[in-house]
Every structure is written in C-alpha cells, then in structure tokens.
Structure 1
Amino acid sequence: MAATSKTAQIPYSTRLDIAEDDRHKLVTMLNETLAATSDLYSQTKQAHWNVKGKDFYQLHLLYDELAEKLEEPLDLVAERIVLLGGYAYGTVRMAAEASPIAPFPGTDQEGDQDTFNDPSFLTTLADRWAQYADHIREMDKKADDIGDPGTADLYDQIIHIAERGTWFIEGHLQRYHGGLKEEGQDPK
C-alpha cells in the first residue's frame, strides 16, 4: 500500500534551499521508504525468531544480521524526513499501513506457523528483499529527478544493503553444481 496523504505534510520550516513542493514530494517518498524499511526489518526479525529445521543455526544468524543492517537506514531515513521539515511516521502500525512491501504469508495471528519451516520461505523472504531493492532504486531515481543530492545519496547507500541482503538469501536458494553443466545450459 502506498503512503497516505498525511505523509506529505511539512509542519516545519527549514533554511535549506529546497522548494517546499519538492520537500513535500521528498517527505512523502521518504515516509514510504521508512515504512518499507520498518516492514522489511519486522519480516526479517519474524524469520529470525521462528526459523526451524536443519539449517536453523545458520539461518537464525543470517536473519539477525540482515535485520541489523536495516537499523541504520531506518534512523537515517527518519532523520532525513525531519531535516526536510517533515514528520517521520515511524510506528509499526504506520509502517503496516504505508509499506509497499508485500505482507509475509502466514504471519498473521491465525496464519500457518509452519511457513517458516517450508523451503519456499527463503524464496518469499528473498522476494521481499528484492521488492525493497526495487523500491529503493525507484526512490533514488525520483530524488535525482527532483534534484536533491542529499536524499539521492541516502538512497545510494541503502541500495547496497538491499542488494547484499537479497544476495545473501539467494545464496541459500542456489545449488552448487561442482562445475558440471546443468541440463539446457552451455558450459563456460
């Protein structure tokens, strides 16, 4: 779900030389990113807390490390919102309403608790991290188009975290083939 119209409010003035209309756009974008980052953090911690199975220890540590990598962007995005004169909508409830990241299946109170033990769980989490990376890329382009190098630079920093997190999860989905040609592929 996209950020609500309330995220476009600019209650504070600033001496920064950024037009108010542009600040409205940037604050709206950043609040959507704050929601996405908070949502992805929560989904990753949910995985950390509930993972079971033969790869428990490795995945438990991986999910915790990935969630920790989102803590700094959460803070930086919220501070950028306020720096631009906006209000950071950062509660969990606000994030759930405004996040562009798809909800995680089976994570409601009535959901299937075996979701975290299913091999498709890794695919779903990798998909959520990839959605986040796509969101960050889109917001980076918008910040560039608006002409705000400070916000664009922030998105440049976050994309590295999003792509690396996706890569780390995808690494658990791929099988090593020992250099053997897979069916239908040309050897290199």
Structure 2
Amino acid sequence: MEPNIGIKKDYLSQISHELARILADEFLLYAKTRNAHWNVEGPDFHSKHVFFEQQYEELDEIMDGVAERIRSLGHYAPATLKEYLALTHLTEKSRSANDGAGFIGELLSDHESLIIHLRENINRFANDWHDQGTSDYITGLMEQHEKMAWMLRAHLR
C-alpha cells in the first residue's frame, strides 16, 4: 500500500532517490571510518582507534535513519555495495600510510563534502518536492555531520 501523506507519487520517488544517494554517501563514509578504526597505526593508536569507533557508531545510526526515512516514503532502501558505489558522490581512496592524521584529513574532507551536499538540498526537498519533513530531517543530518567534522578538525590543530 502506497503512503497517502500529502506528497505526490512522483515527488515521493524523487525524494527517495535523493535519499538513496545520501544513504550511499553515509555508507561509504561509514566503511572508510571502519577502515580507519581497524587500520590506524602510530603512537596515538589507542586514542584514534577509540575515536574512530565512536564516529562509525554514529554513522551506523545515521544510515539506519536514512534507510527508514526512505521506507516511510514507500520506497526500498538500496542495500548492496554495487548500488552504493553507483549512487555515491564520494570516492574510495587507497592510502599509502595508516596514520591517524591522514585518516582524519580524508574523513574530514568527506564529511565536509556531505555537509555541502546536504545544505544544497534542504530547500529542494521543501520547495521543489513540498516535503518539509525530509527537509527538516536532512537539516538535522547536516548538523550531525558538522559536529562530527568539528571533532575531526580538532584533531588536526
């Protein structure tokens, strides 16, 4: 049964597709943060290992929320690596060194890219697709990523 929530069927599809792209970004950022957690080395290993764990746990909650938002709009959330790689605007990078500062710089860049992408779409959800709920939701996501980016940035000072 399709949701009858005051948003046109066409718009629900477009909103869900854009949310799927956000979910793909979140998943790739989660995987990269897990990689940092597993593979960081150096004299600050323990503190960075714990820090990256806190970050990927928060990203796990974010991914679940985005997927559930897609489902609440009557669509299926993408859930395969192939789909995520086709939808994301982030890139996988291979690192030559597994130092904390390198991982942090890379993750910070991805968070900032995602923040910009979310910010650019806030009004699109509200004005183009008449979905203030999703607009508000991604505003909250943007704020979470801003805080996570701040935490990463603070390690580079």
By the TM > 0.5 criterion, same fold? Answer: yes
Which of structure 1's runs of 4+ aligned residues deviate more than 3 A? Answer: 118-121
Give the structure with the larger helix fraction: 2
Of residues 117, 120, 131, the one that matches 2:99 is 117
Of residues 123, 131, 156, the one that matches 1:148 is 131
The yes-or-no answer on 1:28 pairing with 2:11 is no
Root-mean-square deviation (CA, aligned residues, Å) is: 1.6
Greater RCO (Cα-Cα under 8 Å, separation 6 or more) = 2
3-state SS in 2 of match to 1:104 = coil
How many angstroms apart in 2 are the aligned matches of 1:70 and 1:142? 24
The yes-or-no answer on 1:43 pairing with 2:25 is no
What amino acid maps onto 2:2 in structure 1? S
Q: Partner of 2:61 in structure 1?
A: 72
User: Aligned runs of 1:75-114 on 2, under 5 Å?
Assistant: 75-106=64-95, 112=96, 114=97
3-state SS in 1 of match to 2:7 = coil
Normalising by structure 1, we get a TM-score of: 0.77
Q: Report sequence identity in percent.
A: 28
How many angstroms apart in 2 are the aligned matches of 1:67 and 1:92? 17
Q: Is the 8 A contact 1:39 1:99 kept in 2?
A: yes
Gaps (5+ residues) in structure 1?
1-11, 107-111, 175-188
Q: Partner of 1:130 in structure 2?
A: 112
Q: Is the 8 A contact 2:34 2:56 kept in 1?
A: yes
Gaps (5+ residues) in structure 2?
none
The yes-or-no answer on 1:162 pairing with 2:145 is yes
Task: Show CA shifts across 1:27-54 (max 9, x none).
Answer: 1110001101111111111101100001
